[in-house]
Amino acid sequence: DAGVTQSPTHLIKTRGQHVTLRCSPISGHKSVSWYQQVLGQGPQFIFQYYEKEERGRGNFPDRFSARQFPNYSSELNVNALLLGDSALYLCASSSDRVGETQYFGPGTRLLVL
Amino acid sequence: GNSVTQMEGPVTLSEEAFLTINCTYTATGYPSLFWYVQYPGEGLQLLLKATKADDKGSNKGFEATYRKETTSFHLEKGSVQVSDSAVYFCALSTGGGNKLTFGTGTQLKVEL
């Protein structure tokens, strides 16, 4: 079975632009979470979506938004990009049971110039 | 709030040496605990997990025991290999949700 897939793998944007990152979960997984990993640090939780509804939000500004589609894939949108948004954006999927393991995709590396 | 503290790296070992990476946590409720590994240029892979006190997670020769009394989940391996060189992240989740709280990561370098 395919794992979590993310696109694109790399992206370069300039300050003020908008970006959309995409994620497809493992087949049968209904929950998708997004994390931001700045170089040299651990991932920080941004959002969790389950059955198209937001189930959790981390401490990120309103410039960050996301949505989940009926096929459980998800998009992360970031508006008005700042230099500090440069990071590896990771998507993780799970079947959303208590203590269930999350499986991570390879990430999208975003560079904001 | 929840937090995870890991020993700072990099940790440099010779092949076949014993590995310990310390991890302690602060959490509300009863967390599930995880170790993830990140190889250069890649995403995170689950290494092992434990969901209740005194559980031992193990995989690929790595082990970690959930110690509620010391709020710790130290990662150990008896004999490391060059291929174990990576960054290791300790993490927790609580409340049945999927929000993972990660430590800052510990880089392991294994030399011949």
Q: What is the mean pLDDT of each run of 10 residues along chain B (112 residues)?
A: 91 97 92 93 90 94 96 97 96 80 96 94
Whether residue B96 and residue A107 make contact (CB cut-off 8 A), yes or no, is: no
Q: Cα dist. B54→A74, B18, B78 in Å?
A: 36, 22, 20
Contact flag B102-A42 (C-beta cutoff 8 Å): yes
Contact B89 A42 (CB under 8 A): yes
Residue A95 in contact with partner chain B when CB distance is under 8 A:
no
Nearest CA in chain A to B104: A42
A37 pairs with which residues across the strands?
A88
Binning pLDDT at 50, 70 and 90, where does residue A95 land? Answer: confident
Judged against a pLDDT cut of 80, whether residue A99 lies above it is answered with no
State how far the alpha carbon of B42 is from the alpha carbons of A53, A75, B23, B31, in Å. 29, 20, 22, 26
